[in-house]
Amino acid sequence: DSVDALLKSYFNSELENGGAKYSEGVYAVALNPKTGAVLSMSGIKHDLKTGELTPDSLGTVTNVFVPGSVVKAATISSGWENGVLSGNQTLTDQSIVFQGSAPINSWYTQAYGSFPITAVEALEYSSNAYMVQTALGIMGQTYQPNMFVGTSNLESAMGKLRSTFGEYGLGSATGIDLPDESTGFVPKDYSFANYITNAFGQFDNYTPMQLAQYVATIANDGVRVAPRIVEGIYGNND
């Protein structure tokens, strides 16, 4: 198989000594972005009642999680794909307030106030505001403070955003040569708030393997390769 035993041993040690005891489980995947070879897939499940830690490598393809800010590069890609963003476009990072809702902030907006930010900087500083404005643009709307948002094209906009995510393997089958792979949890029912927060990784759920394929696709200049464990099938004399 393609798995690097030393790398897997290192991953297992880091997971067990690192975050496993602080959560229900921790997972790590390493892929060769050019070939899709799975270099390591490790997981540790934590029983919160007993404290027991058990190996769970297959959890990397069967368990799903809310990914958080890692998806922001895919949101910017969707902005480009749908003609909302152009190149390294500048938007204003600011506290986002919709009519009748609580503010959506980036962590540093509260400390430094509003300022212009490029697409690259939006990823560097993990800007929620940039992603929200991009998602609004996909809906055909431009942010104004305290605006009322019409949602007649919400379904179309979510479809466009998810379509781009799917091109990276998020919410779709990765093609890995293992059974029972989850394609993620992508709810059919959602609100405007769900759509907006999905733009910065707080709604749809993905497997660790899907997230690894997403990052590998970026590393491979946008070419998505199916992860694989089997290197080849050989005869007895090979």
Q: Show which residues are catalytic.
A: 69
- Candidates 76, 88, 64; CA nearest to 172 is 64
Q: Where are the beta strands (DSSP E) in 134-184?
A: none
- Candidates 15, 21, 93, 108; CA nearest to 60 is 15
Q: Which residues contact 188 (CB under 8 A, 6 or more apart)?
A: none
Work out the burial of residue 148: count CB atoms within 10 Å of its CB; fewer than 13 is exposed, 13-18 middle, 19 or more buried. exposed
CA 188 to each of CA 29, 91, 144, 207: distance values in angstroms, whole numbers, following the listed order: 28, 31, 28, 18
Find where tokens 């969707």 sit.
78
Other beta carbons within 10 angstroms of residue 208's beta carbon come to: 23
Looking only at the bridges linking them, the beta strands covering 53-55 and 91-93 are unpaired
- CA dist 169 and 110 (Å) reads 34
Contacts 24+ apart (CB under 8 A), 122-128: 122/72, 122/76, 122/91, 122/93, 123/72, 123/73, 123/76, 125/93, 126/69, 126/72, 127/72, 127/93, 128/96, 128/104, 128/200
